[in-house]
Structure 1
Amino acid sequence: MKIDQEMRFLEVYYDGSCALCCRYKGWFEQQRAEVEVQFIDYASDAARKRFPELLEYEPARAMVVRSDSGMVYQGEEATLMTLWACPRYRYLAKILSKPMFLPLARWVYPLIANHRYKLSKLLLGEGKQGSGKDTDCGGGGCKF
């Protein structure tokens, strides 16, 4: 996995109807980031306008991250990019992106992503969020 050391901006396309994804967004927003990071619900009009090719990456399957240089990361690599953006977790992202550990991340990520609604229900007491404003974490869909 190649990390663009010069990037200054990340767009994170996430599942705004998933409580676990919304919780991750809320956690991330409490961290100090060295690059600007914007979370965008992949199902929103804003996502379609900003990144018309987004659906080619099947964001319903896994989180997608796009950097200001145009690099696109998905799944475990997208998660590692968000961790890399935070100085506190950059070392962890670098370790997990190494050839020795990346297979582990590639094995774990689909287990979580494919069962995120069940995990949300089990861990957070919330499954798939409702529709409309409730699907936006900022609109009350998540409980932080």
Structure 2
Amino acid sequence: MDNHSQKSPIRVFYDAACPGCIKDRAWYEKRVGQGEQVQWLDINSSEQELKALGIDPHRAMLELHVQDENGKIWRELPAYQILLSRLPGYRWLAWLISLPLIKPMLSWLYRIWVRQRLKREGRL
């Protein structure tokens, strides 16, 4: 995950049935640098592709997944680190969420938030 400042395409597997996820995508797209290539794939209609990449569709519902330019799949906070590290002015945040005390706490909060959202939507 060292050299993500180059302009190589990445793929983001996200929940397009989630209003918050759609807003996050729009927020990201508004801030992404010139020439940055991101392919957004809705996990709700990409089950076969997820499986072909070794991603459990149920787990994809619970955690953000990103495929980097080398084909490696990252999930949860490391996936967010990939996205943030490509945003001008937000690389410091990618570094911050990777810190040993912050990362486990954010992971825990993220898992709780996602499960509550899916339960509220009747999709868990």
Scaled to the shorter chain, the TM-score interval is 0.7 to 0.9
Which residue does 2:90 correspond to in 1?
89
How far apart are the structure 2 equivalents of 1:5 and 1:16? Answer: 28
What is the letter of the counterpart of residue 5 of structure 1? N
Which residue does 1:5 correspond to in 2?
3
Contact kept, 8 Å, 1:20 with 1:117, in 2: the verdict is no
Report the TM-score when normalising by structure 1. Answer: 0.68
1:1-144 correspondence to structure 2 within 5 Å: 3-6=1-4, 8-33=8-33, 35-45=36-46, 48-49=48-49, 52-56=52-56, 58-117=59-118
What is the letter of the counterpart of residue 37 of structure 1? V
How far apart are the structure 2 equivalents of 1:50 and 1:9? Answer: 18
Identity %: 24
How far apart are the structure 2 equivalents of 1:54 and 1:15? Answer: 17
Q: Which runs of 5+ in 1 are unaligned?
A: 120-126, 129-144
Secondary structure class of the residue paired with 1:38: strand
How far apart are the structure 2 equivalents of 1:43 and 1:12? Answer: 13
Secondary structure class of the residue paired with 2:61: coil
How far apart are the structure 1 equivalents of 2:103 and 2:49? Answer: 32
What is the number of residues matched between the two proteins? Answer: 118
The verdict on how the C-alpha distance between 1:4 and 1:50 changes in structure 2, with shifts beyond 3 A counting, is: farther
How far apart are the structure 1 equivalents of 2:19 and 2:37? Answer: 23
Instruction: Output one character per residue of 1:24-62: Cα deviation in whole Å (capped at 9) or x when no partner.
Output: 1111110123742221101224x7448722543621111
How far apart are the structure 2 equivalents of 1:48 and 1:67? Answer: 19
Contact kept, 8 Å, 2:15 with 2:43, in 1: the verdict is yes
Report the TM-score when normalising by structure 2. Answer: 0.77
Q: Which has the higher contact order (CA 8 A, sep 6+)?
A: 1
